[in-house]
Structure 1
Amino acid sequence: MNEKLKEKVQESLSSVLPITVIVLIISITLVPLEIGTLALFLTGAVLLIIGMGFFQLGAEVAMTPLGQGVGSKLMTSHHILLIALVCFLMGAIITISEPDLQVLADQVAAIPNEVLIWTVAVGVGIFTTVAVLRILFHIPLPTMLTICYIALFLLSFFTPSDFVAVAFDSGGVTTGPMTVPFIMALGVGLSAARSDRDGANDSFGLIALCSVGPIMMVLLLGIFYHPTEAVYETVTITPISTTYDVVRQFTSAIPQYAEEVLVSILPVAGVFLLFQLFTRYYRKRQVLRMSVGFLYTYIGLVLFLTGVNVGFAPVGSLLGEGLAQGSLKWSLIPLGVIIGYYIVRAEPAVQVLNEQVEELTGGTISHKMMNAALSIGVACAVAVAMLRVITGISIYLVLIPGYAISLILSRLVPTVFVGIAYDSGGVASGPMTSTFLLPLAIGACTALGGNVVTDAFGIVALVALAPLLAIQIMGLLYVRHLKAHPQPSEPISDDTVIELEEE
C-alpha cells in the first residue's frame, strides 16, 4: 500500500507541478505577488499534491471494487425497479462526496452550496439509472446522446442565462476522481456479465450519460429557483508576516473541512457496509483493504479541500485580476493555451485513457498521438474560454457548434470511440480545471467588470468539450486506416474488426 501511495503522490505531483511553475513564472514577470501570498500558494500546492495522492489511492482501493461488486450483483437481479433504485442511490451518494463538485459549489455564490450539490447529485443518480438501463436494453449510445443533448439545448433556452454556463460546468466537475472510478467499475461489472459482442463496448458511455444529468437538473433549477443576486468581490488574502501565520491559516480551516467531508463520505461508507452485510460479496481481507481505502479517501479529501480553498484558488483569482489590467488582459489567451496544454497532459486519468485507446486500436492510435490531440484540443478550449472572459461572447456560440459537430461525428465513427470520447470529457476536466482555471477566469472577469456567471463560468464545460472532438477525429482516422489496411496487426477482437469494417 505504501508503494502504491508513493506512486499516486508522484502522479499528483506531475499534475500540480506544471501549474505551480507557471504561477511562479507569472509572479516574477507579469503579476508580482507578496511573499506571504506566495507562501500560502506553495503550501496549498503541497497539500493538494498529498491530498490528491491519498484520495486517488483511496478511491481506487474502495470505489472500484464497490462499483464492480454492485454492478455484478445487479446483473443477477431480474427486478428492473430494484436495479433502477440502487443505481439512483449509488450515483447520488457518490456524487455528494465528489471534491470537484464541492470546489465548484464554493465558486457559485448565487446558489447555496447544499442546493447545488443536492441538485447535481439527483441528476447524476437519475442518469446513472438511465445509463445502466441503456446497457440492459441494448440502446445505441449515439442515439441516446443525440436525444439528450438536443433536449439540453432546448431546455437551456427557457433557463435564465445566469444558470446556463454553471449548468454545463457542473456536468464536467461531477465526473471527477471520486465518481469516475465507481461508475466505470459499475459499467465493467454490468457488461462483464453479458456474453454478447457489444458487452465490452457498452462498458464505455456511463460517464457520458452521467454528465448529462447535472446539466439538466441545474437548468431546471434555474427555471424554478430564484436566488438573490450574488456579488463577486475582489479576493483579499489575510496578511502573512511569518511562517507561523501560514500554518495558522491552514490549521484553522482543517476542522471545518474535516466535518464537511465526514458528512459527505459517511453515506458512501454506509452503502458499503449494507452491501457487504446483505451479500457477503467481499472476503475479510478485502473488507479490511477497502476500509483502509475509505480512510485514505477521507484524509485525502480533507487535505485537498483545505489546500484548494485556503491557498490555491485564491491565488488563481488574484493572478486573474492582475492579468486583466490594461492591455495585459490579452495575455490571458496565450497563457490559457500554455496552461490548457500542460493541464491535460499532467492529468493521471488522461494518461490511463490514452493507454486504453492505444491498446484498443492495436497501436494504430498511439499514446503519443492521443496526448498531442487532447493537449491541442484543451489548449484551444482554454484560449476560447479566456476570449469569452475578455469579450463576453455567448457560450452558445461555442457549445452549440461544438456539440453539433461531435454528435455528427458520433454517427461516423465506431461506437466504442463515441463512448471513450464522451467519457474522456469528464476525465480531462479534472481537479486542476476547477481549482485553478475557474478561479483565474473569475478573477479576470471581476477585474474587467464583466458578468462572472455568464462570462467566467463555462470554462470547465469547454475543457470537457475538447476531447469529444479530438478523440472522435482520432476514430475517423482509425476507420480510414482500417479501410486502407484491411488486416491490421493485433486488432481489438475479430468481432470488433468486423463491426468497424462494416461501418
Structure 2
Amino acid sequence: MIGGYARLRVQEQVRAVAFIIAYLIIFQLLILRAPLGDALALTLGVSAVVIGLALFLEGLVLGLMPLGELAGVKLPQRVGLAVILLFGLFVGLGSTLAEPAFAALRLAGRDVTPWGSPLLYVLLEQHSYTVILSIAGGVGVAVALGMLRFSLGFSLKPLVFSLIPLLLILSLIASRDPKVRSVIGLAWDSGAVTTGPVTVPLVLALGIGVSRSSGNRGEGGGFGVIMLASALPVASVLLLAMALAPSVPDPVEEEHFFSPAYRERALGVVIDEGTLLRSAFSQGSEAGRRAFFSDGRSYEETLHELGSDFALRESLLEGISFRDWVNHRASDFERRLLDEYPLENFSGEGERSGRGVFSRELQGALRAVVPISALLIALLFLLRERPRYIDEVLLGIVFALLGMAFLTSGIHFGLGPLGDMVGREIPRAYRSSERGSDRIVIDRFDPELVFESISADGEREQFFFYHRGDQPQAIPFRPEQFDPHRQRYEHRLQLPPLFGPNLTALGIALVLLFAFGLGFGSTLAEPALRALGRTVEELTVGTIRGQEVVLAVSIGVGVGIVAGVCRILFDFPLLWILGPAYLVLLLLTAVSSELMTSISWDCGGVTTGPVTVPLVLALGLGLGGELATLEGFGVLALASAFPIISVQLFGLIAQFRQGQAIAPDQEAQ
C-alpha cells in the first residue's frame, strides 16, 4: 500500500517534468544536433529532481501546510493585528529561505565575470546570502502588508498603482549607473524565485485564515498577496545593490582587471589573489591569464603545473574538467603548450562527488526548513494548540528536508547543466561563427599527405585523409595549425551553423519558436497553476473556466520567454521590454475587476516553479554567456510579467462575453 502511494507521488512528478526535460533533450539532439555531454550525470540529476519533488511536496502536505493552516486559523482568534503582522513578517522570511529554487540563484553567479559586471559578481559571490536575506526580507514585508490588507479589506489596486511605478522608477535610476545596471535583471528575476511551493501555500493559508477571521475577505477572494511577495523583493535587491555600489569599482576590460597595476581594486571585487587567479582560468581568456602574471615565464610555468598537478586543477578550474578547459577555453598557444599532457589521461576529472554535493545541500536544507518549522511549532505551542497528527507532521518535516536536498542536488547535476547546455548551443541556429567541440592531435604529421581540391568557381582548398573509426574521412588542412618543428598537426572538430554561414531569419525564428514552446509547455505542466485554475473556477462559480486560465497563463509565459530570449540575442536593456509591459499592465488593471486584478497578478507568481526556474535561469545565463553579453538575467522576470497581461486580457474578454450573454436575457424580460 505504501509502495503504491509512493509510486503514485513519483509518477505525478514525472508527468510534471517529463515534457520540459524531453523538449530540451530533443531540441538539443535532433534540432541542434549537439551531444548531451555527461548523460549519466544528467540522468541522475533529473532523477534526483523527480524524487526530491515527490518527497518535498509530500513533506509540505504532511508537515508545513497543516502547521501553517492551523496557525492561520487560530492566530487571528487569539492575538491582535500587530502580532499577526509580525508573525506574517517572520513567516514570509522563513518560507522564502526554504524555497528550493534559491539553489538556482546560487549557481547563477558562475558565468558572471568580475570585470564585466563587478557589482553583480560581488552580490552573487561575496554577498549571496545577503541577497537571499534581502529577498526574504522583501517577502516578509509583503506578507505582513498582505495580512494588513486582508484584515482591513482594502483593494489591491492602490498597492499595484503605487508599487509598480516605484519599482520602475528604481530600475530607471539603477539603469543610469553602469555598475547597478547589471543588477536590474537579477532584481526582477528574484521576484519570480520567491513564489514557489513553500511560500505560496503557507502565505495563502495564513492569509485566508486572517481574512475569514476578520470578515473582510472582499472581492479579491484571498488573492493578491503573491503579487506583493513578487514585487517587494525587486525593491530590496535594487536598494541593496545601490548601497554596495560605491564600494565596487566600475566595469573594465579583462586584461586591465587582472593586471598587477589594478590588483588592489580587483581585490575589492574578489576575495583574494587565489580567487582572482581562479577567475582568470575558469572565466577568463589567455589575455587575462597573461595579465595576471608579471612575466611570461611564470604564466607558462603555471600552465605546465596545471597539466601535472591535480590539486592545482581542482583549485583553478572550479569543476571544469581539464579536457573541457583545454578544448573550449584554452587558446591555441595554451593548447600547444599543453600538448605533452594527453587529454585521454584526464577523463572524469572535474566531476564533483555526488555524495559531497548531497551532503552540502542537506546542510542547506536543514538551514532552510528547520527555522520555518520551528517558528510554526513554537507559535502553536504559545497558542496552546496541538496538530491533530503530530507524527505525520514530524514525518512531513523529515520528507521536506530530504526532498529539498535531493531537489537542489538534482538542480546542480541535472536541470542547471541541461539548461546551460541548450542555452549555449542555441546561437548555432543562426550565428555564422563556428564553435569547436573537440580536437584531434596528430603526431609525426607528414605534409606530403596534404591534397588540394577545387570548387566550381575555382576556389582551392587543402585537405588530408584521417582514419577515424572504420573509414577514412577528409579533414581540412589549415597551415596555422601545423607545427613543423614538432611535426604535429592539431585539428579542431567544428560544429557548423545549422542554417548556413550567414545570419538567417529562419534560424532566429527557430530559436524564438523553441523559446515559446519551452515556456508554453513547461507552464502547462506546473501543478500550482492547475490548482490555481481550479480555485478560480470555484470562486467564479464556473463563469471563468480553470482550463482557460491555464491556457492564458501558458501563452503569456511563452511570449515572456520569447521576449527574454530576444533581449539576450539582440543585447538591449531589459527595461525596454519590462517598462512598456508594466505600463500596459497598469492600464489593464485600471479597467479590470478587483477579482481579476488579484487573480492575474498572482498568476505571475505561480508560473515559475522549482523546475521552471532553474531551467529558464540556466538557459538565459548559458545563452548570455555564449553571446558574451554581460548577464543573462531577466528572462524569468518577463516570464512572470506577460502572463499577467494575458490573464487580464482574458478576463476582459470573459467579462465582455458574459455581458453579451446577459444582454439578450434582459431585453427579453
1:294 aligns with 2:397: yes
What is the alpha-carbon distance in structure 2 between the residues aligned to residue 200 and residue 63 of structure 1? 28
In the alignment, which residue of structure 1 is the partner of 2:241? 222
1:423 aligns with 2:602: yes
In the alignment, which residue of structure 2 is the partner of 1:324? 427
2:563 pairs, out of 353, 361, 384, with 384
After TM superposition, list the pairs within 5 Å mapping 1:45-444 onto structure 2: 45-77=46-78, 79-108=80-109, 110=121, 111=123, 112-159=127-174, 160-196=180-216, 198-199=217-218, 201-226=220-245, 233=283, 238=321, 249-283=353-387, 285-325=388-428, 326-327=431-432, 330=508, 331-444=510-623
SS of structure 2 residue aligned to 1:449? coil
- 2:96–2:199 Cα contact (<8 Å) kept: yes
Cα deviation code 1:244-303 (max 9, x no counterpart): 9999742231111111111221211211321232123234x4222221111111111000
Structure number with larger C-alpha Rg:
2
Letter in 1 for 2:599: I
- 1:135–1:202 Cα contact (<8 Å) kept: no
Unaligned runs of 5+ in 2: 111-120, 175-179, 249-267, 271-278, 285-317, 325-343, 433-497, 499-506
By how many angstroms is 1:237 displaced? 5.2
- 1:67–1:186 Cα contact (<8 Å) kept: yes
- After superposing the two structures, state which structure 1 stretch, 162-171 or 94-103, moved more: 94-103
- 2:319–2:351 Cα contact (<8 Å) kept: no
TM value normalised by structure 1 = 0.89
- After superposing the two structures, state which structure 1 stretch, 400-409 or 141-150, moved more: 400-409
- 1:92–1:122 Cα contact (<8 Å) kept: yes
What is the alpha-carbon distance in structure 1 between the residues aligned to residue 106 and residue 319 of structure 2? 19
SS of structure 2 residue aligned to 1:429? coil
Identity of matched residues, %: 26
In the alignment, which residue of structure 2 is the partner of 1:497? none
Cα deviation code 1:81-117 (max 9, x no counterpart): 3222211111111111111123223313522321111
- 1:62–1:290 Cα contact (<8 Å) kept: yes
In the alignment, which residue of structure 2 is the partner of 1:494? none
What is the alpha-carbon distance in structure 1 between the residues aligned to residue 5 and residue 637 of structure 2? 32
What is the alpha-carbon distance in structure 1 between the residues aligned to residue 44 and residue 351 of structure 2? 9
1:451 aligns with 2:470: no
SS of structure 2 residue aligned to 1:60? helix
By how many angstroms is 1:74 displaced? 3.1
Letter in 1 for 2:555: I
By how many angstroms is 1:29 displaced? 2.2
Please give the root-mean-square deviation of Cα atoms over the aligned residues, in Å. Answer: 2.9
Q: Aligned pairs, how many?
A: 484
By how many angstroms is 1:423 displaced? 1.1
The alpha-carbon distance between structure 1 residues 46 and 247, as it changes in their structure 2 partners (threshold 3 A), is farther
Letter in 1 for 2:202: F
- 2:185–2:637 Cα contact (<8 Å) kept: yes
By how many angstroms is 1:371 displaced? 2.9
- 1:5–1:57 Cα contact (<8 Å) kept: no
What is the alpha-carbon distance in structure 2 between the residues aligned to residue 43 and residue 468 of structure 1? 35
What is the alpha-carbon distance in structure 2 between the residues aligned to residue 11 and residue 488 of structure 1? 45
What is the alpha-carbon distance in structure 1 between the residues aligned to residue 6 and residue 232 of structure 2? 33
Q: Which has the higher strand share?
A: 2
What is the alpha-carbon distance in structure 2 between the residues aligned to residue 7 and residue 184 of structure 1? 26
Cα deviation code 1:226-249 (max 9, x no counterpart): 3566879499754799xx999974
Letter in 2 for 1:413: S
SS of structure 1 residue aligned to 2:591? coil
1:466 aligns with 2:642: yes
By how many angstroms is 1:317 displaced? 0.9
Cα deviation code 1:384-436 (max 9, x no counterpart): 11111110121112111211222222222221111111111111011233211
TM value normalised by structure 2 = 0.68
By how many angstroms is 1:71 displaced? 2.2
SS of structure 1 residue aligned to 2:611? helix
Relative contact order, higher structure (CA 8 A, sep 6+)? 1
What is the alpha-carbon distance in structure 2 between the residues aligned to residue 182 and residue 264 of structure 1? 15
- After superposing the two structures, state which structure 1 stretch, 11-20 or 323-332, moved more: 323-332
In the alignment, which residue of structure 1 is the partner of 2:653? 477
- After superposing the two structures, state which structure 1 stretch, 29-38 or 401-410, moved more: 29-38
